[in-house]
């Protein structure tokens, strides 16, 4: 509670929106049991004209509100899982590169630079073309295109930490190099890389929506990108089919951005108070 009170207005708004989105995702199976892709009523019912379908139905008669809730599950699952995988993989590679140095550092950094030359969206698109669209494939594909920044940030932090006294003390006590790297250095170097989590989550949300919009999402799951794509064919007569999931995407990315900015500002504010 104290943590929430110490945040500024933007941070509180961001966390509040994320909590709301999380509740939507968790409550989707309870409020909208059954298959959200199943036909629920007449096609193209407009929003707020039918109590059974508050946000209307699409051109096949599927409930838009049910799709919105179940789409939140897919979006948050893919975004959080891929961002976590990218952060873990990048931190491990950056730790190895910074601690080992020499030839290992050169090889790992050249691999990192090779991945950075290709846009993450194109890497994800190529992998899905090869492996086929599914939720696990989406998570792996998005994380492969977004681990490089965490690797570079972690490496830079490790380079500044590996000559510290606590590392020399660990060597004196007989700890092996990998034990020192992952038990002593990585926990201290993880903070700067973790600050990239909000950027990674926001990017993963947009990449997942873009892939789904182009038809490369999981065909067995409801996603906001798929809902936007479905509304293209009736954009003139039923624009709400694309506007509603589009607004959900905007709100989600905005919430992640506001939360990330607030968490980034907190450490500097704490240091300023301590200096006073």
Q: Is the pLDDT of residue 205 over 80?
A: yes
pLDDT band, very low/low/confident/very high, at 266 (cuts 50, 70, 90): low
Q: Is the pLDDT of residue 87 over 50?
A: yes
**Count of domains in the chain?**
1
Question: Per the domain annotation, does 219 fall within a domain?
Answer: yes
Please give the average per-residue pLDDT across 152-167, as a whole number: 87
Question: Per the domain annotation, does 57 fall within a domain?
Answer: no
Name the pTM for this structure: 0.85
Question: Per the domain annotation, does 9 fall within a domain?
Answer: no
pLDDT of residue 252: 94
pLDDT band, very low/low/confident/very high, at 7 (cuts 50, 70, 90): low
H or E stretch at 30: helix 9-31
State both tokens at 211. Answer: 């892939």
Q: Count CB atoms within 10 A of the CB of residue 194.
A: 16
Q: Give the HSE-up count for residue 183: Cα atoms under 13 Å, Cβ half-sphere.
A: 8
End-to-end CA distance of the chain: 24
- Residue 254, CA distances (Å) to 1, 139, 194 in order: 23, 21, 19
Sign for the pseudo-dihedral over CA of 55, 58, 63, 66? negative
- CA angle, residues 69, 244, 124, in degrees to nearest 5: 75
pLDDT band, very low/low/confident/very high, at 172 (cuts 50, 70, 90): confident
pLDDT digits (tens, 9 = 90+) for 108-118: 999 999 998 88
pLDDT digits (tens, 9 = 90+) for 22-36: 999 999 999 998 889
User: Are 83 and 146 spatial neighbours (Cβ–Cβ below 8 Å)?
Assistant: yes
The DSSP string of 111-178 is HHHHHHTS-HHHHHHHHHHHH-S-HHHHHHHHHHTTSHHHHHHHHHHHHHHTTSHHHHHHHHTT--HH
Question: The domain that contains 168 carries what CATH number?
Answer: 1.10.3720.10
Question: Per the domain annotation, does 13 fall within a domain?
Answer: no
Q: Which domain holds residue 124?
A: 63-247
Question: Per the domain annotation, does 35 fall within a domain?
Answer: no
pLDDT digits (tens, 9 = 90+) for 14-64: 889 999 999 999 999 999 988 899 999 899 999 999 888 999 999 999 999
pLDDT band, very low/low/confident/very high, at 183 (cuts 50, 70, 90): confident
pLDDT band, very low/low/confident/very high, at 166 (cuts 50, 70, 90): confident
CA–CA separation, 56 and 205 (whole Å): 25
Please give the average per-residue pLDDT across 222-232, as a whole number: 92
Question: Per the domain annotation, does 97 fall within a domain?
Answer: yes
Q: Is the pLDDT of residue 240 over 60?
A: yes
Question: Per the domain annotation, does 38 fall within a domain?
Answer: no
CA–CA separation, 272 and 7 (whole Å): 15
pLDDT band, very low/low/confident/very high, at 167 (cuts 50, 70, 90): confident
pLDDT of residue 269: 43
Question: Per the domain annotation, does 58 fall within a domain?
Answer: no
What percent of the chain has pLDDT above 70? Answer: 93
pLDDT band, very low/low/confident/very high, at 10 (cuts 50, 70, 90): confident
pLDDT of residue 271: 39
Q: Give the HSE-up count for residue 268: Cα atoms under 13 Å, Cβ half-sphere.
A: 6
State both tokens at 260. Answer: 């990330």
Please give the average per-residue pLDDT across 220-246, as a whole number: 92
Which residues are 57's β-sheet partners? 63
Please give the average per-residue pLDDT across 237-241, as a whole number: 93
For residue 154, is it left (φ>0), alpha (ψ between -120 and 50) or beta? alpha
User: Are 162 and 177 spatial neighbours (Cβ–Cβ below 8 Å)?
Assistant: no
What percent of the chain has pLDDT above 90? Answer: 51
């Amino acid at each position: 509670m104290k943590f929430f009170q110490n945040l500024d207005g933007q941070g509180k708004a961001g966390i509040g929106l994320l909590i709301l989105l999380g509740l939507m995702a968790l409550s989707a199976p309870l409020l909208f049991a059954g298959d959200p892709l199943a036909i629920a009523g007449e096609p193209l019912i407009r929003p707020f004209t039918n109590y059974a379908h508050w946000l209307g139905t699409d051109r096949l008669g599927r409930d838009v509100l049910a799709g919105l809730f179940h789409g939140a599950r897919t979006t948050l699952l893919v975004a959080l899982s891929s961002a976590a995988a990218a952060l873990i993989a990048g931190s491990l590679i950056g730790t190895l590169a910074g601690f080992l140095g020499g030839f290992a550092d050169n090889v790992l950094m050249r691999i990192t630079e090779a991945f950075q030359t290709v846009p993450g969206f194109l890497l994800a698109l190529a992998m899905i073309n090869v492996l086929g669209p599914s939720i696990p494939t989406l998570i792996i594909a998005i994380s492969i295109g977004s681990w490089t920044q965490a690797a570079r940030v972690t490496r830079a932090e490790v380079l500044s930490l590996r000559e510290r006294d606590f590392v020399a003390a660990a060597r004196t006590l007989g700890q092996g190099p990998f034990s020192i790297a992952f038990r002593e250095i990585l926990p201290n170097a993880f903070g700067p890389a973790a600050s990239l989590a909000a950027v990674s989550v926001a990017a993963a949300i947009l990449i997942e929506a873009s892939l789904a919009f182009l038809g490369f999402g999981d065909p067995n799951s409801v996603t906001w990108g798929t809902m936007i794509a479905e509304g293209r064919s009736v954009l003139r007569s039923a624009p709400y089919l694309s506007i509603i999931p589009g607004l959900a995407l905007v709100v989600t990315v905005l919430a992640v951005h506001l939360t990330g900015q607030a968490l980034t500002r907190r450490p500097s504010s704490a240091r300023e108070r301590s200096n006073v």
